[in-house]
Chain A
Amino acid sequence: MTQTITIDPITRIEGHAKITLHLNDSGTVERALFHTTQFRGFEKFCEGRPYYEMPSLMARSCGICPVAHLVAGAKACDQILAVKIPDTAGDLRRIMNFAQIIQSHALCMFYLSAPDFIFGFDANPATRNIAGLAAKNPQLARDGIRLRQFGQQTIELLGGKRIHPAWIVAGGVSEPLKPDHRDRIQVQLPEVKDIAMRALATFKPILRKYESEMETFGNFPSLFMGLVDEQGNIQHYDGKLRVVDSAGNVITQGWDPARYQELIAEAVEPWTFMKFPYYKPMGYPNGMYRVGPLARLNVIARCGTPLADAELDEFRSKYGYPASSSYHNHLARLIEVLYSIERLEQKLSDDSILDTHVRAGAAPNARDGIGVAEAPRGTIIHHYHVDQDGVVEWANMIIATGHNNLAMNRSILQVARSYVNGDKLTEGMLNRVEAVIRAYDPCLSCSTHAVGQMPLHIELYDGNSELRDTLVRDSA
């Protein structure tokens, strides 16, 4: 018998998602499929546009992490121009990317995920949200708001506005950093560093309480990929690609991101618009890899800043190396927030950041440009091919949530097998499926170029492919 259960509050993911769970004859979950059912075709409609429009144009695919798209898009354009951008311009881009990481991670941790940890995964969804958090722990809610506000203000002070600033451009940035804006950012750093430290102290013991979720939220062997610098330390702006296996062995290192097509291929499945990137040497689907905060901590030697490195040591001592559960993305995010603040301290204290030479000019000198950066959710790749006049002939974007697609599907299967019993869906099961997806902080708007905030829809099929139960979370 088909039964529909409507659950409020609305989903806390971005984009249009549907999950189908397929049971075998004995009633256990055999397959779990994560469908994204919308398509915008960003790569297609940028064809015919001039290369210099690409950073801002492609950033429109997302209102959550536009800065990462601006960075990757501008880096691709730098290659088309064949210029070395001024060092200060690179540092200013880095600063904006750190600000983006801080605000995005704060959003994910405090607004979207913290209610699960504070109230529990089985709590009433009417209170398991940011408003409930504000009532129960106002200081924690204030800290989250303050961190996010700081990140957004920093983006605004650099680029003129908080969302879709058109400041990161081909060849550098459009304007230098004003001294008084530098001061306004700097003066806030001690406060936000205290908040980041307080958040770590608060969440570490809370996150440890959920042992069952830790065991089942995407806890399986996989590869991990991310950018590292020449010393193997964490990089969010440039560097080389490194891939480690589930035992922590480095299987690819020093890989030039411009050669990403030799490393990564994309598979397609008929039931979703989201592609399935995989590590080419291991084939599909064995070449499943993860990107994002956890992956970054798993591929690096060190962070390179004192407080973040101390947290990294503690993280590895508690959860091993590499840490395999995607649940640990949450703690990894907080460590990255702290790291980003430490890096902002360093970058902004150097007066060269106020240098006024921040853009290199040139006409198109190359037909291909490939820009790679670390977005809050993981590695993103922008590849543009232009004609001799710099007009885009085709473009390709591989986005963090796309990289994680195989792992997200595997994670849903793992959670479903742990929590779904028989042919009836329960509220607790839905909560955990949502939570395991949220551990990846997916941005389906980016990865499928879909639009809007849409419902999450879960369908349960029996061994005869008959629909047995449905859970729906309505859109707002």
Chain B
Amino acid sequence: MHADLECVTQLTIEHSQKLRNYETVLFIDASILLPPGEWTIESLAPHGMCSAQASHHCTPADVIELAALLFDASPDAYLLSIGASKFDERDSLGEPLQAALPNIVADVKSFDTRLSRKN
């Protein structure tokens, strides 16, 4: 399976256009809602709501919604949320996240395998 990796500090409206080119999209984002070191993978789908009001802040769900609305693009989309506690510039990973990282990477790799089987 071929995959492209893009790192961005913010999702914008323009990212919706890129989704035209992909069958599957995995958003990976830090979360303040989960305890540090815990992670979840959830499925995203267009749901008729978009919270994007301005130009430079979209949630993954917004991007999915706009992709469907504007570009008729509905890739399989997932959000990997990783609990974290340190968000300052140049912060390194905290201990709980550092310890969990190998398992998170393994989960992403198995996720990749699951997708390959599905496709």
Contact = CB atoms under 8 A, between A and B. Distances in A.
Interface of A: 9-10, 12, 63, 107, 111-112, 129-131, 134-135, 138, 141-142, 145-146, 148-149, 152, 453, 476
B50 interface: yes
B52 A129 contact: yes
B82 interface: no
B95 interface: no
Contact of B13 (A10, A63, A111): A111
Interface stretch (B30-38, B66-74, B83-91, B98-106): B66-74
A131 B50 CA distance: 6
Interface in B11-63: 13-14, 16-17, 50-57, 62
Contacts of A112: 54-55
Contacts of A131: 50-53, 62, 65-66
Contacts of B50: 131, 134
Given A149-B14, A149-B17, A129 B70 contact: no
B70 A10 contact: no
B54 A145 contact: no
Given A148-B14, A149-B17, A142 B55 contact: no
10 contacts: A10-B53, A111-B54, A112-B55, A131-B53, A134-B50, A145-B14, A145-B16, A145-B17, A149-B17, A476-B54
Nearest to A132: B50
Interface of B, helix, strand, loop or mixed by DSSP? loop
A476 B70 contact: no
A73 B55 CA distance: 26
B70 A152 contact: no
Nearest to A112: B55
A399 to B, nearest CB: 20
Contacts of A63: 56
B53 A130 contact: yes
A130 B70 contact: no
B52 A138 contact: no
A130 B16 CA distance: 13
A148 B13 CA distance: 10
A142 B54 contact: no
Contacts of B66: 131, 134
Contact of B52 (A130, A142, A146, A453): A130
A152 B14 contact: yes
Contacts of B56: 63
A131 B51 CA distance: 8
B13 A130 contact: yes
A138 B17 contact: no
Contacts of B53: 9-10, 12, 129-131, 476
A141 B54 contact: no
A313 B25 CA distance: 48
Contacts of B13: 111, 130, 145
A142 B71 contact: yes
A107 B13 CA distance: 11
A393 B17 CA distance: 46
Pick from A12, A111, A476 the residue with the most CB of B within 10 Å: A111
Contacts of A146: 17
Given A130-B52, A148-B14, A142 B57 contact: no
A459 B32 CA distance: 34
A181 B56 CA distance: 26
Contacts of A453: 54
A134 B56 CA distance: 16
A472 to B, nearest CB: 15
A303 B57 CA distance: 35
Nearest to A144: B13
A63 B66 CA distance: 23
A138 B50 CA distance: 14
A265 to B, nearest CB: 34
A164 B13 CA distance: 19
Nearest to B17: A145
A135 B55 contact: no
A436 B62 CA distance: 28
A295 to B, nearest CB: 24
B55 A111 contact: yes
Pick from B13, B17, B52, B71 the residue with the most CB of A within 10 Å: B13
Contacts of B17: 145-146, 149
Nearest to B18: A149
Nearest to B57: A476
Given A130-B54, A131-B53, 10 more contacts: A12-B54, A111-B55, A129-B54, A130-B53, A131-B51, A134-B66, A134-B70, A135-B69, A145-B70, A476-B54
Given A149-B14, A149-B17, A10 B54 contact: yes
A141 B114 CA distance: 36
Pick from B50, B54, B57, B62 the residue with the most CB of A within 10 Å: B54
Query: What 8 pairs across the A-B complex have the smallest Cβ distances?
Result: A131-B50, A9-B53, A111-B55, A129-B53, A134-B69, A138-B70, A131-B52, A149-B14
Contacts of B57: 476
Nearest to A126: B53
A148 B71 CA distance: 16
B19 to A, nearest CB: 12
Contact of A141 (B51, B55, B62, B70): B70
Contacts of B54: 10, 12, 111-112, 129-130, 453, 476
